[in-house]
């Protein structure tokens, strides 16, 4: 099942931070990892990932560094402690939101 872009858009920060929680990755790998974990049900315009990553970096939720990989230098992103705290709060917010939606849908 593929989801609407709007639905994915509201969760991009959460998705990106969740993927980076386990290991440092570069942009393309982040996209691939999201696809892999969601079994290709979630995908985003890959270019739009970069404004998100850069914004997260500006907010100190992630930090970047260049590292050699497969003979090429790539820009890796690493989640910070602040980012981990933010991820936790996003997860909690998401769970609460889902519960609220369920309540509305299952009313009565």
Partner 1 sequence: MNKQEYIKNIIKHIQNDSMQKESFRELSDHFEDRKQYYLDAGFEEEVAEEKTVARMGDAELIGTKMGKVHGRRFYVPVLLIELVLGLVMTPVALFMSGFIGEAVLLEMKVLAECILLLFLFLFSYIGLRYRYKSLLILACIPFVLFLTLKGGLYLYTSTVPFVSGTVWETVYLALGKVKALYEVAARSWVVDVSWWLQVLSLLFYAWIIFCAIAGIMIMVREDRAKCTLKQKKMLKLIKRSMLGMGLVILVSAGAFYAVYYAEATAARDAGVEESSVLAVYAKGIDENQSLNEMEGAYIQDDTDSFYSYVSDTKIESTDTIQLYGSGEDGEPIRRIEKKRFDNNIEYYIVIHEVNVKTTKDYMYFSNKGLWENFSKDKWTKVKKGEKYLVAFEKRADYPKNFVEFTIQ
Residues near partner 1, by CB under 8 A: 26-28, 45-48, 50-51, 54-55, 58, 63-66, 72, 74-75, 78
How many Cα atoms within 13 Å fall on the side-chain side of residue 49?
20
Q: Pick the closer one to partner 1 by CB: 28 or 97.
A: 28
Q: Pick the closer one to partner 1 by CB: 3 or 65.
A: 65
**Overall size of the chain counted in residues:** 108
Q: Pick the closer one to partner 1 by CB: 50 or 97.
A: 50
Look-up of token digits 């709007």: 6
Q: How many CB atoms lie within 10 A of CB 5?
A: 12
Cβ 33 to partner 1, closest distance in Å? 13
Q: Nearest-CA neighbor of 74 among 21, 25, 17?
A: 25
Cβ 13 to partner 1, closest distance in Å? 13
Q: Nearest-CA neighbor of 23 among 76, 60, 73?
A: 76
Cβ 32 to partner 1, closest distance in Å? 9
């Amino acid at each position: 099942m593929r989801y609407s872009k709007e639905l994915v858009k509201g969760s991009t920060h959460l998705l990106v931070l969740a993927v980076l929680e386990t290991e440092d990755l570069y942009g393309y790998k982040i996209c691939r990892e999201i696809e892999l974990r969601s079994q290709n049900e979630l995908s985003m315009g890959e270019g739009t990932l970069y404004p998100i990553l850069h914004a997260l970096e500006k907010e100190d939720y992630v930090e970047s560094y260049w590292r050699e990989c497969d003979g090429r230098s790539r820009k890796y992103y690493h989640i910070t402690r602040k980012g981990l705290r933010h991820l936790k709060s996003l997860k909690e917010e998401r769970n609460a939101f889902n519960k609220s939606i369920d309540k509305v849908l299952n009313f009565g």
